[in-house]
Amino acid sequence: MPLTTSTVLICAGGACISSGEASVKEALKKEIRKYGLDEVVRVVETGCMGACSLGPIIVIYPDGVFYQKLTPRAAEKIVQEHLLKGRIVQEYLYKMPTGEVVPEAMDKLPFFAKQVKIATRNVGYIDPSNIEEYIARDGYFALNKVLTQMSPEQVIEEIKRSGLRGRGGAGFPTGLKWELTRKAKGDRKYIVCNADEGDPGAFMDRSILEGDPHTVLEAMVIAGYAIGAHQGYIYVRAEYPLAIERLQIAIAQAKEFGFLGENILGSEFGFDIEIRIGAGAFVCGEETALIASIEGKRGQPRVKPPYPAQSGVWGCPTVINNVETFACVPPIIIKGADWFRSIGTPTSPGTKVFALAGKITNTGLVEVPMGITIKELLYEIGGGSSTGKKIKAVQTGGPSGGCIPSEYFDTPVDYESLQKLGAIMGSGGMIVMDEDDCMVDVARFFLEFTVDESCGKCTPCREGTRQMLKILEKITSGEGSEKDLIELETLGNIIKDTSLCGLGQTAPNPVLSTLRYYRHEYEAHVREKRCPALRCKALVRYVIDPSKCVGCTACARVCPVNAISGELRKVHTIDNDVCVRCGSCIEVCRFGAISKVSP
């Protein structure tokens, strides 16, 4: 007979689902049934636990033992050993890059130990489809407190005192936004949750919606009470079907439990929430474009003012907040503004959720106190470079952000410090680059994205970004000149100053920040026609070292365009006029004879 009751949390976030969560869950359940443990072991599917590169993941409570990279066979073994006999299965515990097994409890792992979870406090811990699990972790307590003990003004005052700033990018004070909307004239007011999340590689908001949808609903009702609104909209992109499904379930449950609808919790106050599905245009995340899209119009930004606080959905005063901003509201109401201010920095209180991506060992989702240094974030939590090469820069703020070089990694992560470096906090995307990344090419990549996503309404953004992209393409193909660098800077600053909306106003950031910190790389491209990172194909040649080549013919056989010639056991050569720089030959040569050079 088993001695203890256990709960097995299995991550059902997007990354773990694609790495085989369903088959691990099936094997787990089958084995649990086989040994008659169904009565004492509960299997709960949760949202993303954050360590997405380690999936499929399970955590077994009460001890919080963290198992990673599981297969159905591993799941069977864990049931037989851990759940049946109480013996930890060492081979599936987390291992350091050195191979050392670290303490088995999840909260002791370096990836989790430095995190402070506020917005994602329930993500990865509860079944998001079960409202009772949310309630069991203080869910809807804040709403109850607000409706029974606080006036709308007191709610706004508490949020103002907390210093909470919008997590959608701009960092506008949330309490002030609510106050302005409350004071704005109008009988009808609205609450909108911005869940458009269009930055490439970002998935903070998706994880909250998939892993803890009720927290967003609760916060929206609280915001509605605070400003006098009775209707809310969640604008979520169609590419997030799981988030939409879990939101729909959550809304139905909240209605059933009396947290949505008329007379919420027996009060006079009523509030309803509808989901609006966006088609996935990046610009629709901009608040005025999003509002137009909710109204059924084309999702294009308009001039501000008037701001949504004065004239939002259907011309009515509207609070629009980001998913993560809303997710911070219930804990602030329960624990108080002073508690929230005790975390983070005086000007950026609280935490921020980041999606770590690129050349970093621990990719995934992390929530950290503001003020943590970039170095701590990348090395102590992120585990450093995943390639063995030195980390060269980190791009924050997605396509509107900037690149921060490693010399500045002691900088604290807060709104002002990042802005001073020419980057921005943005919504939380963090892409790590190593010495193999060419900063000119990185700038080109991000600009390509904004050119595609520009709505075309205003000329500086529509035409200017296109011109900048053409110049960057010229430079990366070895046809650039010194004049182009000046042109890029001049154009970039004009676009920033004259574009209508935030997309155009920030689109030049990746170019301007790389010009600021990596001018030498641009100069190498235009002066010497050289790509120091050996990335820009037009500036790179593939060569075979005759002293290393043994003439095995492997490279010639793998080359898709027959650019390599040579006889068996004779030194081979590459015709660079034919070579398409695919890199297949480098991968296949066991003698390290092939390398890339830039003149």
Q: Using CB under 6 A, list all residues that contact ligand FMN.
A: 166-170, 172, 194, 196-198, 282-283, 285-287, 320-322, 325, 427, 501-503
Distance in Å, CB of 17 to ligand FES, minimum: 7
* Binding map of ligand SF4 across residues 261-290, x = CB under 6 A, - = no contact: ----------------------x-------
157 contact partners, CB below 8 Å, separation of at least 6: 175
Question: Quick one: which of 202, 212, 191, 204 has its CA closest to 282?
Answer: 202
Nearer to ligand FMN (CB atom), residue 234 or residue 540: 234
- The verdict on 15 binding ligand FES (CB under 6 A) reads yes
The mark string for 224-253 relative to ligand SF4 (x by CB under 6 A, - otherwise) is: ------------------------------
Residue number with CB closer to ligand FMN (288 or 361): 288
b vs e for 299-324, b when ≥16 Cβ sit within 10 Å of the residue's Cβ? Answer: bbbeeeeebbbbbbbeebbbbbbbbb
Q: Applying CB under 6 A, which of residues 8, 9, 11, 579 lies at the interface with ligand FES?
A: 11
In this complex, which beta carbon is closest to ligand SF4, that of residue 348 or of residue 506?
506
φ, ψ of residue 434 to 5 degrees: the values are: -115, -170
In the complex, least distance from residue 191 CB atom to ligand FMN, rounded to whole angstroms: 11
CA separation for the pair 260, 132 (Å, rounded): 15
Q: Which of residues 147-166 bind ligand FES (CB under 6 A)?
A: none
Let me know: does 473 contact 465? Beta carbons within 8 Å.
no
Least separation in angstroms between residue 14's CB and ligand FES is 6
In this structure, are residues 173 and 163 in contact, taking their beta carbons and an 8 Å threshold?
yes
507 near ligand FES (CB under 6 A)? no
Shortest gap between Cβ of 15 and ligand FES (angstroms)?
A: 4
DSSP codes joined into one string, 92-152: GB-B-TTSPBPPSBGGGSHHHHT---STTSSTTTS-TT-HHHHHHTTTTHHHHHHHHH--H
Cβ 549 vs Cβ 571: under 8 Å: yes
Alpha carbons within 13 A on the beta-carbon side of 178? 32
Of the pair 483, 569, the CB lying nearest ligand SF4 is at 569
Residue 501 lies near ligand SF4 (rule: CB under 6 A): yes
Out of ligand FMN, ligand FES, ligand SF4, none, which partner does residue 544 contact, by CB within 5 to 8 A per kind? ligand SF4
- Cβ distance to ligand FMN smaller for residue 83 or 191: 191
Among residues 60, 204, 219, 458, the one that binds ligand SF4 under rule CB under 6 A: 458
Distance (Å, whole) CA 278 – CA 299: 9
Spell 110-145 as b/e; 16+ CB within 10 A means b. bbbeebbbbbbbbbbbbbbebbebbeeeebbebbbe
- For the segment 48-77, give every residue that binds ligand FES (CB under 6 A): 48-52, 55, 57
Q: Distance between CA 534 and CA 427 in Å, rounded? A: 31
Q: Which does 55 bind (CB under 5 to 8 A by kind): ligand FMN, ligand SF4, ligand FES, none?
A: ligand FES
Q: Which residue has the tokens 């600009």?
A: 447
Reduced DSSP (H G I as helix, E B as strand, rest coil) percent helix, strand, coil of the chain, to 5: 45, 15, 40
- Sole binder of ligand SF4 in the list 311, 321, 476, 499 (CB under 6 A): 499
CB 146 within 8 Å of CB 225: yes
Contact set for ligand SF4, span 560-589 (CB under 6 A): 572, 588-589
Say if residue 103 is preceded by a cis peptide, omega within 30 of 0: no
Structure tokens at 293: 């899209």
AA letter at 129: S
Contact present, 116 and 369 (Cβ < 8 Å): yes
- Residue 16: contacted member of ligand FMN, ligand FES, ligand SF4, none (CB under 5 to 8 Å, by partner type): ligand FES
Peptide bond into 213 cis (omega under 30): no
Task: Please state the closest distance from residue 25 (CB atom) to ligand FES, in A.
Answer: 12
Note the helical H segments in 345-406: 374-375
* Residue 198 interacting partner from ligand SF4, ligand FMN, ligand FES, none (CB closer than 5 to 8 Å by kind): ligand FMN
CB of 108 to ligand FMN, least distance (A): 33
For ligand SF4, give the closer residue by CB, 103 or 566.
566
Q: How far is the CB of 138 from ligand FES (least distance, A)?
A: 23
Residue 51 contact partner, candidates ligand SF4, ligand FMN, ligand FES, none, CB within 5 to 8 A by sort of partner: ligand FES
Closest approach of ligand FES to the CB of residue 69, in Å: 11
Residue 269 Cβ, how far from ligand FES at the closest point, in Å? Answer: 36
Quick one: tokens of 444? 């080109």
> Which entry of ligand FMN, ligand FES, ligand SF4, none binds 152, CB below 5 to 8 A by partner kind?
none
Interface ranges with ligand FES (CB under 6 A): 11, 13-16, 48-52, 55, 57, 364
Interface ranges with ligand SF4 (CB under 6 A): 283, 301, 454-458, 461-462, 499-501, 503-504, 544, 549-555, 572, 588-589, 591, 593-594
